[in-house]
Amino acid sequence: MKDLLTKIIEAHGGLKRWLQFNTIQVEMVSGGKLFDLKEFPQDSTPRQMTAYLHKQQASMQPFGAANQKTHFTPERISIETVEGKVLSERIDTPANIHKHMAAEKWDALDRAYFNGYAMWMYLTTPFFMLMPGFEVTETEAWQEGNETWQGLKVTFPPELASHCPTQYFYFGEDYLLRRLDYEIDIAGTFNAAQYVSDFVEVQGIKLPTKRRAYKRDATGKPILDELMVAIDLSDIRLT
């Protein structure tokens, strides 16, 4: 497994280069059925997302108003003015905050927390797998059409926020990420298959700019008319 993860890390730019940076900033547009189910539909307004590379922390703006932003850590989510005045916040364990998100209708803090932990993971894949507390093992390969994608099973430490404790990542012959499988329990319980594409190289780091997460059926295939989350990224910068 160490050989496989090492090849994956190198394919995405290498640990040495990754450690030269502290944050990643992107412009993002998101949507999908999940947000409609939670009665928190998305518009096409581009937003700036900032994620810290070596700790689980993120922020997005604008959020709710032009002069507002979010601030996410696993045990706290807040909505603040750009000057730093806290407008609302929720402080609890990641598990309890996650339970709150299972309500039929999201409030603004639920949406902000989901955005924070999901985008942090997406923007730091696969490098976060090297952080303390993660358990990473090689798993059964996935056959996608005429391609065979090698897999990693990743278990998150309980002190971090995530979709679910154990997730599966699949990589192509070039060792770049192709697909991520996980379970969603905040909008009813369903299994998701998220496909990534349109990689770009930014300052030596390779990242996908498109993500499409579908419900998946009992055989693992995506249900294409059940597009739950769509994310498009642009203007990526590492600092």
Q: What CATH homologous superfamily does 2-238 map to?
A: Lipoprotein localisation LolA/LolB/LppX (2.50.20.10)
Beta bridge partners of 149: 142
Residues paired with 29 in a beta bridge: 232
Sign, CA dihedral 52-58-62-67, equals: negative
Written as six digits, the tokens of 214 are: 């579908």
CA-based nearest residue to 126, from 186, 172, 158: 172
Average pLDDT over residues 135-146: 96
Residue 42 has a pLDDT of: 78
Handedness of CA 105, 108, 113, 115 (dihedral sign): positive
| DSSP three-state, residue 79 | strand
Q: Write down the pLDDT at residue 16.
A: 98
Provide the mean pLDDT of the chain: 95
The average pLDDT across 49-75 equals 97
- Whether 1 has a pLDDT exceeding 60, the answer reads no
- Residue 92's pLDDT is what? 96
User: What percent of the chain clears pLDDT 90, i.e. is strictly above it?
Assistant: 89
Q: What does the pLDDT average to over 195-213? A: 98
Confidence of residue 144 (pLDDT cuts 50, 70, 90): very high
Please tell me the distance from the alpha carbon of residue 55 to that of residue 23, in angstroms, as a whole number.
10
pLDDT score for 41: 81
pTM, rounded to two decimals: 0.96
Mean pLDDT of 30-44: 88
Q: Are strands 58-61 and 205-216 parallel, antiparallel or unpaired?
A: unpaired
- Check residue 119 and give left, alpha or beta (phi > 0: left; psi -120 to 50: alpha): alpha
Cβ neighbours around 119 below 10 Å, total: 25
pLDDT beyond 80 at 126? yes
CB atoms within 10 A of CB 47: 19
What's the pLDDT score for residue 2?
60
Which tokens in the block code for residue 239? 């600092």
Lowest mean pLDDT among 29-38, 69-78, 129-138: 29-38
Strand partners, 196: 211
Q: What is the pLDDT of residue 43?
A: 77
Give tens-digit pLDDT for 211-238: 999 999 999 999 999 999 999 999 999 9
- For residue 182, the one-letter residue type is Y
Summarize pLDDT for 68-115 with one digit per residue, the tens.
999 999 999 999 999 999 999 999 999 999 999 988 899 999 999 999
